[in-house]
Each structure stands twice: as C-alpha cells, then as structure tokens.
Amino acid sequence: MIIVMKYGADEAQVEAVVHKIHQSGLKEHLSRGAELTIIGVIGDEERLDPSRFAILPGVDRVNRVAKQYKIVSRSTHPQGTTIKVRGIEFGGTQIQIIAGPYAAESAQQMNLTADALAAASCRLMRCGAFHAQPYTAPRKEREALAWLKDAAARHQLPVMAELPDVRMLDAFMEYDIEMIQIGERNMQNLDLLREVGRINKPIILKRGVSATIVEWLMAAESIAAGGNHNIIFCEHGIRTFENAYRNVLDVSAIAVLKQETHLPVMVDPSDACGKSWMVPALTKAAIAAGADGVLLDVHPNPAEALYAADQALAPLDLAQLIAGLQPLAAALGRSL
C-alpha cells in the first residue's frame, strides 16, 4: 500500500499516518521528495482497507500495490492450466466451441440443435438462458435441463447451462450438467460464487458488462477460495456509449487475462454483439487474439426462434463458420 500525502502536509500529519500503520502491526517506509511525501506500508497489508488511511488529514490518496487475487494469478502459477470435461481440454492447443440455443423452447428444438452441432463437429452443447422473458415467462428450468441432457446424450456431448440462482444448484447436480455458467449479471453475486466454489464442476465465469478485468479476476478468486479451481473466463462484451451493437467485444481483455491468469479464456461473440451476421468476424477476432474457445448461439431455424432470433446462427452458418476457422486455427498453431 502506498500513501501519498497532500502537497503541504505537515509533519504531525505524517506522524499520525505512521502511528496508524504501527497500530495496525505494519511497518512504514518514508520517502520525502522535493514536493511530496510518500509512505510505503510493508507487511500483510492485504487485510487492511485502504480507506482507513485515506480518511486521515493530509492524505491525498492511498493505492494498493499488491494484487488482490492470488490463486487465479499467473504470478504464482506461471504454467497455463488446462481443464478437462469428459476428455475435452480447455486451455490447451485445441480450440473449443460450445454451441446451442439462447433459450430452450422444446425437446424437438434441442434435438435438432444437437444434430446440427454433431454434424458440424462441435464437441459441447449449451442452452443459453432460462430467463428469456423477464417478467412473464413461467419457470421451466427443470424441463429445459432434461431436454438439454437428452438431446446432447444422442451425440454424447457434454452440456453447459447457466445457473441463475443458488436454489437451482440441486437440479444442476441431479441432471449432471457438466459445466456451469455464471452469467454476466451474477459475476459479483457472492452467494452464488461461494456455492459454485464448493463443487468440483468447471465454471464458466462471464464478465459483467461493466466489470473491470481486476473485478473479474477477483470474482474468480471468490470461487477459487472455496476450493474449485476449475474456472474458465468468458468475455461477453462491455457496455459503452456505442449502440450499433449490444456490447463492445473487448479483445484486449483476452490478451491481458492470458498474462494475468493461468486459467483458460473463452469469448461469447453472439451475446456480445447480438447480431448473427457479425458473429463470424468476431469469432475470428477472438481466436486470433488468443481465446481458447467460443460460445455460439445456434438455433435449428432462427427465423422461428422465440427470442433473440437475430443473433442465432443457423446450422448452415455454423458449418461455414467452422470451415473458415480450420485454416485460421492452423495459422495460429492451434487445432479446432
């Protein structure tokens, strides 16, 4: 922690800060410049809220220096981590695609989707969101989980679904949902993070639309603190002033995460932009930037999709996109 004193702070103010540092069982390191006095705090300052010093008279600002995430940090774990789901590896050289519809509509829709994924050589299936219709939709989560599992089972695909609420966790365990997504709105839902920290299924942690990368890493740390280190980050776009698309896909975050954490990084181009015609360009950009995989919104017949129809790829679009990704992956030294 570094405490910068205000221009013109007097000796008594500096001493009061030093006194509080000692009271907290830590040591200070004083540096007096021509204009400014800076006080470094040494010791286990992690547990101390910087605001306790910021409030003292004469203090201009207080900055943490040490990072607040440890388990997920690459500093302490320089090797990249791979996570396996029924033999399918995330974070290795192979790029993974998890695909499926935005909303579960029917068993038939799920079956047709699973067929399309298998035909396109996708190895995992997902069902996007259980809450497609905010305040009118009936709660059919269990039925949707059954459809998803049954459809995927026809092609031996492991499945991924979003856990919207802690009370659904039992159902997810019962139906053996292989990967659990924490949605962007729940990225900082600590109760939910703690619960999935106690199980040992891989967690796909979506970035909140206004979450900084540091907040995202700390959310992952909250999961990891419970013992579950099988975490995969998933960039989902951030909210900005631009409204030509839903969110701005932040490819720079991929590069930063690859440096800051040893865990795999995926991207959801469909949810990020909200327009199927943009998905191929964004998928390629994400993979070129270093992503370990993508989530894709696929519907057997987008024109008849009940929700978010214009962001779903049709089976043919998916096949074409994957065909285009093959040489791209090879050019980057990866496989698909």
- Under rule CB under 8 A, which residues in 164-193 are in contact with a second copy? 164-167, 185-186, 188-191, 193
| Closest distance of CB 124 from a second copy, Å | 23
In angstroms, the CA 308 to CA 328 distance is: 28
| Closest distance of CB 329 from a second copy, Å | 8
Nearer Cβ to a second copy, position 58 or 158?
58
Pick the piece of the chain touching a second copy (CB under 8 A) from 45-53, 84-92, 109-117, 154-162: 45-53
| Per CB under 8 A, 273 contacts a second copy | yes
Select the residue interacting with a second copy from 231, 249, 263, 266 (CB under 8 A): 249
Give the type of residue at 19: H
Whether the Cβ atoms of residue 66 and residue 45 lie closer than 8 Å to each other = yes
| Per CB under 8 A, 200 contacts a second copy | no
In angstroms, the CA 200 to CA 28 distance is: 42
Pick the piece of the chain touching a second copy (CB under 8 A) from 112-120, 129-137, 153-161, 228-236: 129-137
Per-residue tokens: 226: 């419970």
* Beta-strand pair 203-206/83-85: unpaired
| Closest distance of CB 52 from a second copy, Å | 5
- State which of positions 220-239 bind a second copy (CB under 8 A): 221-222, 225, 238-239
Contacts of 65 (CB under 8 A, 6+ apart): 1, 2
| Closest distance of CB 58 from a second copy, Å | 12
Select the residue interacting with a second copy from 122, 148, 254, 318 (CB under 8 A): 254
Please give the torsion angle defined by the CA atoms of residues 80, 81, 86 and 89, in that order, rounded to the nearest 10 degrees: -10
Nearer Cβ to a second copy, position 155 or 334?
334
Question: What per-residue string of b and e applies to 115-136 under the rule 16 or more CB within 10 Å gives b?
Answer: ebbbebebbbbbbbbbbbeeee
In angstroms, the CA 202 to CA 289 distance is: 23
| Per CB under 8 A, 140 contacts a second copy | no
| Per CB under 8 A, 121 contacts a second copy | no
Nearer Cβ to a second copy, position 73 or 81?
73
| Per CB under 8 A, 43 contacts a second copy | yes
- Cα–Cα separations (whole angstroms), residue 57 to 21, 27, 29, 35: 14, 20, 19, 17
- State which of positions 89-118 bind a second copy (CB under 8 A): none
- State which of positions 304-323 bind a second copy (CB under 8 A): 305-311
In angstroms, the CA 179 to CA 36 distance is: 52
Sign of the dihedral through C-alpha 256, 259, 260, 263: positive
Pick the piece of the chain touching a second copy (CB under 8 A) from 115-123, 147-155, 160-168, 315-323: 160-168
Select the residue interacting with a second copy from 10, 15, 19, 75 (CB under 8 A): 75
